[in-house]
Every structure is written in C-alpha cells, then in structure tokens.
Structure 1
Amino acid sequence: MRLDVQPWGETMAELVTAARAAESAGAGVVWAPELHRNAFTTAAALAAATGQDLGVGTGIALAFARSPMLTALAAADLDELSGGRFRLGLGTGVARLNQDWHGAEFARPVSRLRDTVAIIRAVLAGGDPIVHDGVRSIRVRGWRRPYPPVRARIPIYLAGVGPSMVALAGEVADGWIAHELCPPSDLRDRIRPALEAGRARVRPDPGTGGDGIRPVRDSGRGPAGVRPFDVVAAACCSVDPDPAVARRRAANVVGFYASVRSYADTFGAAGFGAVCAAANTALRAGRPADDLGDLIPDEMVDAYTIAGTAQECLARLKEYDGLADAIKLSPPSYGLPAGEVRHAQDRLLDLVGSVQ
C-alpha cells in the first residue's frame, strides 16, 4: 500500500521543506488541501520543489468555488509544471462554506459535481466548441488552448462521504479521496460498496492503460477494461513514544469534527452522540473549534485516527491493506503550537521512512 503525505508548514518555505522530506522518506504523493491556503498555489510550490518520482495533488480543491474552466486550466498548468505528476483532487465542501464563504451555488451537489467533472474533461480535451448543459453549463466557441498537453488525461479524484457522492467518484473519476476521519471499518462496510456500485456503471474504455496516468493503479475491483481506479484512504497520524501524548495531540482533530452538526449522525451511530453534543455546546459557548480535544475520550481518538507508538501506528496501517491503494497521512495540527506540530510531523515522516 502506498503511503502519501499531506505536509504541514507554518510558512510556504517550511511546507516545501516538509514535502521534500516526505519525498526522501519514500512517500508516493504529496497532497495540498484547501482551507488556510490555496490548494493550486500550494501544489505549484510542491511540484516545483520535488522530483519526478513524487506525485503532487490537490487534496482537495473546492469544486464549486471556481468555474470548471478555470479549474481545468489550473490543472493543465500544474501538470505541465510537474512534468505529468499532477492529480486533480476535488470536493464539494458543505453548503455553508460554499454559500457564505464563497458565494457559490450548492444546490444538487452530486449533479453539480458530475457536470463539473464533465466540463473539466471537455476543456482539457481541447475541442471546439466546448458545450455542456446541466446544473453547471458551458458554451465556448472559437477557443483552443494553444499549448501541447503533457498527457492525454489528467487523473481526477473526488472526495465523498455520502453514498451518492462516493458512487459518483467510482463512476466518473480516476480515484477517490477519503475524509480525514475514515476508519477501516467505514471503508470496508460503507465506502467500498458505494465505490463498486459506481464502478459498475462505468463503460469499458478502449484506452485503458495507454493514457499515461501514473502511478494510479487498479485496486483489482471493477469491470474488465475499465480505467484503473485509485482508492486513497486518509488519517491524522500522531506518533510518539508515549501513546497518551500521541492521542492527546490527535484529539483536537476529532473534536473539531465532533462539533460540526453535519457529522452528528455518523458519530452518533458509532456511539459517540453524547460527545458530539458536548462539543457542539462548547462551540456555541465560545470555545475555539480546534481546541475541543479535552472532550474527546481515548476510544473515540482510537476509532478515528492513527495514534500511538510507532509500532502501534504501523499495526493500524496494516488494517487498511486490501481496502485502499494508498493512505494519505497528515500530522496533528489543530490547536497545537507550531513547534509541537513540527515534532509530530517529523515523527510521522520517520514512520513513513520506516515502511518504504
């Protein structure tokens, strides 16, 4: 199983240094998220600073906050900059983020994302005219990108949590990226069946294997002749000789999501409804969303993160074997001072290096 890294840095220079360290440790892909930084700008910095054996992806960029055409142009530029190493990871985000933060439409998100992918692929294919009618539409005539593409096809990954969005990823994308809190049991019982349902709707592609997508590989599931598909699990990974310290570093990550109403049903079904209620109450009382870890019991940290000694974390990684092609690991950073995040990231990279 490939180990990917979502590097952290207080400055862009530090972020680039962390990506180089991940490359030296043997990571397969470095992923650039979009929350406090622009995912495409970060991906450009990572691509320019790393070598040809390391993939670079957006993990994830917001799909609705930009026009599909601008997203396609950014992807083409990044694929050129990286020498064919770029992976376009897209996700919808939640309604409030789109509408209140970005003034973006969010209605019918599954159909909207389907149209977004179709338009991006049409723009990257370079035809004239470019026409697509749907929840998102485009009509472009008399335009062609005058620069030769690095590859015939840039791989597109979709993030998804609900069954319809996950199935869409299986149907229209080249890969799926997990939410940061996605334990192996959820991957096995809920995600894989939805992905396979989507994959079953894919029409065989006569160009499979010849389009230069690398190193995306088939997980061994899906119809014969269908384009390879990359299943990328994700986890906050906190490594320390003292497992209690490791768990406390990761607890704020779980606390952040426990305070968000969108995840209440998921946590409630796992028996953590009371914890979520307490986190939400604390948030409404004025506590920072990234500093709720003291409300999170160890069993909840263990359920949703990889935290403990190096040996304990290696054992947890093995639980993803056969369920994912890769796992995107990120150091704990929520509510922690920068020096502690640096230490946690160094231990994470040591763990990656010990495996690769």
Structure 2
Amino acid sequence: MSRDEPVAEQLTELGYYALSRQPVAPAELAEETVFADRIGLGAAFISERFGLKDAAVLAGGLATASRRLGIATAATNHHTRHPMVTATVGATLAELSGGRFGLGLGRGITPQWQVLGLPTVTSRQLTEITDILRRLWRGETVIGHDGAIGAFGALHLGVTLEPPPPILLVTMSPRTLRLAGTIADAVVLHTFLSAEATTHAVTTVRTAAEQAGRDPASVRIWSVLATLGDHLSEDDRLRRRYGRLATYLQGYPDALTRANGWRSADLDRVRATTAFTNARGPIDATADLGALRELADAIPEHWVQDSATGSARACATTIDRQFELGVDSVILHGATPTELAPTVEAYREIRSAQRNLPANPGATQQLSSGGRA
C-alpha cells in the first residue's frame, strides 16, 4: 500500500497498539502504520517487551512510515536506560517525528525487575526522571544529582527542544494516578477496567491535578478498550479477550482486581484452571483453543463486559460511550489496524462530537515541531 494513497480524516481521539499480535513481526510495522494512517487512526502506542519490541526502534519506524500519526511509548521503563540515553531517545524522536512523539513511562512488573536485578520503580523515581528529562530537553545542565534514580555528576544533552516531548504515565493504581495528575502531561489507563473503575480513575487524575494547581483539563486521559469485532475468528476473540486478561492476571493480579473491585474468590477460581496452572508462558501467546474456552467459562462475564464486541456498529457505539466516562481519547486494543478498519468506519458515522485534539498523544493543545537550538 502506497503512503501516497488518499487518507481519511484523522480521528486524533483514537489510537491503537502497534504490533499487538503474538508472535511479534517487526518487519510488518511499516505496512501496518501506513494502513493505520490511511483509515484515520490518530496515534500508535508501543507496548515495549524484551525481545523484538524495543520502544525506541519501533517509534523511529512509526515516525518515518507516517507523516501524521501520533506516537507514544505505553510504556517503557526509565531504569532500563541511562537518563542520557532516554533523553536522547526522546529528543531524537521529537525531531524525527516533527513533534508527534510522547514518552510514556510506567512502573512495570516488580517480579520481573527482581529477576533482572533491577530496582522496583517508585513514585519518587518517576518524579525525578520526569523532572530531569524536562530539564535536559530545555537545554539545562543537571549538576550533582544524587537521588532515587542514581547519582550523576553532570548531565547535558546539548540541544533545546521547544516544546519538549510530553510525558505520559501508564497506570491503573490510585497512587500513580494521583502522581500523574500532579506531574504528567497525559495518562494511559489499562485494558479491562470497568466503566466504574475508569470513571474513578479519571476523577482521581483530575482532582490531583487541581490540587497541584494545574488545569485538570490539561492532562489528557486515554482509556484502553479491548476491541474484538465478531468478524474475528473464535480463536482470535477468545485469545484477545480471555487469554489476554489471563496474561495480565499472571503478571499483576492484585493490582487489576483492586482497581476493579473484583472478588478474590473469583480470581482464585480463574487461577486454579488447568489453562492457568499449566501455562507454558504468557497465556495469550501459548494457550490452545481448549484452554481459552476453559478460561472463558471461568472468568466472570462482568470482568470483560465493558469490552467492545459484536458488529462494527456495536463496537463503535461502545467506543463512543467511553467519552461519557470522562476520558479524552481511546486506544483500541487487541486488534491490528486492518482488523479495526470496519469499526473505525462505523465510529466515524456515529461520532457524537468533533474532538479537536492534537496528534501527539501526550498533548491537549497543538504543539509546534520540535526544534534544535
């Protein structure tokens, strides 16, 4: 598909996850990006994983394959790179994309950091790295920093970005939501949050922003909506709904159940299934159809009822209702742009409001292109 083909009006309030399928095939990124741009998706998000999903590399590919898609990591982790490397990544991508890049940070999974010999990510660390990155992007020199993220004699990037890339926090926990309202430009929530949990998260962020003396509307909030139209195969629908939820429950079950107020007894029943106990790795990547059906029987329906399912029109209606929960934008999760095309077109037909948002997924107001001084 040529990038010179006609493209639809951009829906900057809608995003998708790049290379969301398992196994990951990075060589498919360019074609996927061009198609996403053509149907009018607004932003591409990168969920970094060790192996074949380095966030900086994929963001560079997105920036060159599209001239208008917003780009964000959602998320990377600050302690896997030196602050100068992270600052360089952000500055390079800001320049390469013409100001379309936002840096999304998250805490990650504590057991994984323990295995890798890395420290648990704390709120103090996120606050420090956010401040240091912004200072470096403004052209400042940071002298003698000694804090939660480490000790550094002198940090200086040698460039000035105006404006600097926005910083997003990816979270579902009340503590980090409050932190995001205080320090972040945008927030990315989590897949499989209930409508009630999403509304509560929005309120938490906006209240924290106001208490910090910020305009609550200046923090852009993205919900993440599993979008699984009935044109997908049964295997795909089960894998991306129940299999993916089970994979999250492998990594951080307590955080997700607390966020939604789910019963621990239901969680115990899911984790006792053969599909869960005999898993050979991430369930969404390894389970067979029988295991996925077992999970579908075990997982309470209300845990997944707020997903976008059914016909393209039904999925579009669910997407449009997300905005009633107070979010500014929606990431359509669990499907490729090609698979999302019918839903995007249906949404365009019923879109209840014109939302004049920037392509940069971390911004609420239009940014000028990043520039080197």
Report TM bin, short chain. Answer: 0.7 to 0.9
What does the per-residue CA deviation read over 1:45-86, in whole Å, with 9 as the maximum and x for residues that have no partner? 1111111x2211111112222233321111001111111111
Q: Which residue of 44, 50, 53 maps to 2:66?
A: 50
Distance in 2 between the 1:82 and 1:345 partners? Answer: 20
- Aligned twin of 1:339: none
Query: Which residue of structure 1 lines up, in the alignment, with residue 352 of structure 2?
Result: none
Amino acid at match of 2:57: T
List gaps (5 residues or longer) in structure 1: 205-220, 333-343
- Pair 1:202 & 2:202 matched: no
Q: Does 1:34 align with 2:69?
A: no
Q: Tell me how far apart the structure 2 counterparts of residues 268 and 326 of structure 1 sit (CA, whole Å).
A: 20
One-letter amino acid matched to 1:346: T
Trace 1:184-333 onto structure 2 (pairs within 5 A): 184-188=195-199, 190-203=200-213, 222=216, 228-241=218-231, 247-249=237-239, 250-260=241-251, 261-263=253-255, 265-266=257-258, 269-271=261-263, 273-279=265-271, 282=274, 283-288=276-281, 289-290=283-284, 291=287, 292-294=291-293, 295-297=295-297, 299-300=301-302, 302-303=304-305, 305-322=307-324, 323-332=326-335
User: Structure 2: which amino acid aligns with 1:16?
Assistant: A
Distance in 2 (CA, whole Å) between partners of 1:71 and 1:122 is: 13
- Relative distance call for 1:7 and 1:242 in structure 2 (3 A) is closer
Unpaired runs of 5+ residues, structure 2, are 1-11, 349-373
8 A contact 2:15–2:44 mirrored in 1: yes
Letter in 1 for 2:249: A
CA distance in 2, matches of 1:311, 1:193: 29
CA contact (8 A) 1:122 1:130 kept: no
**1:246–1:309: 8 Å Cα contact kept in structure 2?**
no
Give 1:131 deviation, angstroms.
4.5
Offset from partner CA, 1:151-181 (integer Å, 9 cap, x none): 3221000011211101111110100011222
Residues 194 and 156 of structure 1: is their aligned pair in 2 closer, same or farther, counting only changes over 3 Å? same
- Deviations 1:239-288 (CA, angstroms, capped at 9, x unpaired): 12489677424221122223444346438833474255333554334454
Residue 36 of structure 2 contacts residue 338 of structure 2 at CA under 8 Å; is this kept in 1?
A: no
Identity of aligned residues (%): 22
Is the 2:123–2:176 Cα contact (8 Å) retained in structure 1? yes
Matched to 2:123, the amino acid is V
C-alpha distance in 2 between matches for 1:59 and 1:313? 23
Q: Match for 1:178 among 172, 184, 189?
A: 189
Q: Which amino acid aligns with 1:39?
A: A
Aligned pair in 2 of structure 1 residues 330, 92: CA closer, same or farther (>3 Å)?
same
Residues 99, 258 of structure 1: CA spacing in aligned structure 2 closer, same or farther, 3 A cutoff?
closer
Tell whether the 8 Å contact from 1:176 to 1:231 is kept in structure 2 after alignment: yes
1:146 equivalent to 2:139? Answer no
91 and 66 in structure 1: CA distance in 2 versus 1, 3 angstrom threshold: same
Q: Secondary structure at the match of 1:22?
A: helix
Q: 1:134 maps to which residue?
A: 147
Counterpart residue type for residue 106 of structure 2: G
8 Å CA contact 1:275–1:296 kept in 2: the answer is no
DSSP 3-state at the match of 1:200: helix
TM-score by length of 2: 0.76
Shift of the 246–310 alpha-carbon distance from structure 1 to 2, 3 Å rule, reads farther
Specify the SS of the correspondent of 1:61: coil
Q: Which has the higher contact order (CA 8 A, sep 6+)?
A: 2
Give the length in aligned residue pairs: 319
